[in-house]
Amino acid sequence: MAVGTELLLGQIADTNSAWLGEHLAANGVASHFHQAVGDNHERITLALRTALARSDGVIMCGGLGPTQDDITREAIAEVMNVELVRDESVLAAISEFFRERGREMTANNARQADVPRGATLIRQAGGTAPGLVCPVGNKVVYAVPGVPWEMADMFERGILPDLRARMAEAGEEGVIASRVLRTWGASESGLAEALAGRVEALEGAGDVTLAFLASGIEGIKVRITARARTLSDVRALLDREEAAVRLAIDEGIGDIVFGVDDQSMETAVAGLLLARGLTFGVAESLTGGLIASRLVNVPGASAWFKGGVVAYDSQVKFDVLGVPPGPVVTESAAAAMAEGARRVTGADVGLGITGVAGPDDQEGVPPGTVFVGLALPSEPPQTRQLRLPGDRERVRQYGAITALDLLRRALDAPFS
């Protein structure tokens, strides 16, 4: 249950509910309903009573701040039918927070120390408002701030342990954990086909499950979830299944797994460049800087990323990159761009990408046609032609990740 009028007005998107849904599922907890409600006492209490009537537990995000429209504490107290009690230890922590920053604590800030009688606290790690664990009969209401990182931190430290204890009490004991294999280059049905044998093998046993999550321009995720008595048993199940899944994918489709869990395509590329001691430069036409801007977001990129040329105008391709004058949406132009990127930036490895984003043809070439060139050390450049679907923006995004994936595969294989 997300609290805040700005959500109803569409001024900010509710990303917390999706995050919580994903993390609850990964821990074996089913989410049945999400709600969002504005900063209105009557409607918050109505929504909370509705939520408690149809669920065993409710997580509330937002409305714990210091201003007069932050009324989640009051709403919970009303639904619990208890009073709010000012917690002196929280009050001391808040006033310390302000003293350290040389600022005055206002009376409003003191409201953040109010706790419904019977609730326990999830201590703050950074902000001022603590989270709350509020028992309501056999059910429970958790309240955490709406700031995404505070919410995520309190979920891990305060909500998940309490949920696990409740699941153990209900006889749903054990540990659940999951691992995500991230893939690029296969369709969801292709992946499902390659893994049909694994899904069948796992059926009935019930301790390990597979799920496919299509994630648009970030590829398709395969999530392995395991349940066992102890964490080390869970890890062993995950390791065993990861090996089996990788083998099945490798045999059925090929080298399409680029990362695990939060690892992105650019961190995979970064790891391989670092491991091989190689530096990298890029020449972009179609993607217009998208590949470079993804790479510089990897911390420590300066160790391996030299830079790039955004050669949007053909004359820049000819003059700066040394592409021979003529058509520029061709394999040979992509190859020359890759070599040019290597030479201009002084890198060991160069990549070039040219193509037509649309909506119109260019040089008689239809939108979605893309050429990628890759120049590895002391090798002639390789090229690859792609046919990408979608509109202008999507062709660019697909082009960027596909080019990075070609680079990853090349760096993953032995070369002279």
From 250, 171, 182, 245, select the one nearest 215 (Cα to Cα).
182
Residues 6+ apart with CB under 8 A from 165: none
- Closest approach, Cβ 183 to a copy of itself, in A, equals 15
**12 interacts with a copy of itself by CB under 8 A:** yes
Beta pairing, strands 139-144 & 57-61: parallel
> Hey, which residues between 163 and 202 contact a copy of itself (CB under 8 A)?
none
C-beta of 19 vs 235, nearer to a copy of itself: 19
Distances (CA, A) of 229 to 159, 172, 236, 237: 20, 10, 12, 11
C-beta of 119 vs 351, nearer to a copy of itself: 351
**17 interacts with a copy of itself by CB under 8 A:** yes
C-beta of 287 vs 369, nearer to a copy of itself: 287
- Closest approach, Cβ 132 to a copy of itself, in A, equals 22
Q: Answer whether 145's CB lies under 8 Å from 64's CB.
A: yes
Classify each residue of 299-338 as buried b or exposed e, where b means 16 or more C-beta atoms within 10 Å of its C-beta: eebeebbbbbbbbeebeebbebbebeeeebbbbbbbbbbb
- Closest approach, Cβ 68 to a copy of itself, in A, equals 17
Residues 6+ apart with CB under 8 A from 327: 333, 363
* Structural Rg of the chain based on CA atoms: 27
Tokens of 46: 């109505």
**330 interacts with a copy of itself by CB under 8 A:** no
Phi/psi at 223 (5° precision)? -100, 125
**245 interacts with a copy of itself by CB under 8 A:** no
**215 interacts with a copy of itself by CB under 8 A:** yes
> Hey, which residues between 268 and 327 contact a copy of itself (CB under 8 A)?
282, 284, 287-293, 295-297, 299, 301-302, 305-313, 315-316, 319-320
Tokens 């394999």 — which residue? 331
The span from the first CA to the last CA of the chain, in angstroms, equals 57
CA 36/CA 45 separation, integer angstroms: 12
Q: How many chain residues are in contact with a copy of itself, going by CB under 8 A?
A: 71
- Closest approach, Cβ 92 to a copy of itself, in A, equals 29
> Hey, which residues between 350 and 369 contact a copy of itself (CB under 8 A)?
357, 359
> HEC states along 284-303?
ECCCCCHHHHHHCCCCCHHH
C-beta of 21 vs 252, nearer to a copy of itself: 21
- Closest approach, Cβ 34 to a copy of itself, in A, equals 4
DSSP character for 123?
-
DSSP character for 185?
S
C-beta of 22 vs 162, nearer to a copy of itself: 22
Beta pairing, strands 369-375 & 382-387: antiparallel
C-beta of 90 vs 311, nearer to a copy of itself: 311
- Closest approach, Cβ 193 to a copy of itself, in A, equals 18
- Closest approach, Cβ 308 to a copy of itself, in A, equals 4
C-beta of 90 vs 286, nearer to a copy of itself: 286
Phi/psi at 3 (5° precision)? -115, 125
> Hey, which residues between 18 and 77 contact a copy of itself (CB under 8 A)?
18-23, 25, 31-38, 40, 43, 46-47, 50, 54
- Closest approach, Cβ 292 to a copy of itself, in A, equals 3
Pick from 92, 170, 214, 274 the residue near a copy of itself by CB under 8 A: 214
C-beta of 37 vs 248, nearer to a copy of itself: 37
CA 293/CA 283 separation, integer angstroms: 12
C-beta of 32 vs 104, nearer to a copy of itself: 32
- Closest approach, Cβ 354 to a copy of itself, in A, equals 12
**148 interacts with a copy of itself by CB under 8 A:** no
- Closest approach, Cβ 152 to a copy of itself, in A, equals 12
- Closest approach, Cβ 36 to a copy of itself, in A, equals 4
Pick from 154, 396, 403, 411 the residue near a copy of itself by CB under 8 A: 396
CA 189/CA 35 separation, integer angstroms: 32
**332 interacts with a copy of itself by CB under 8 A:** no
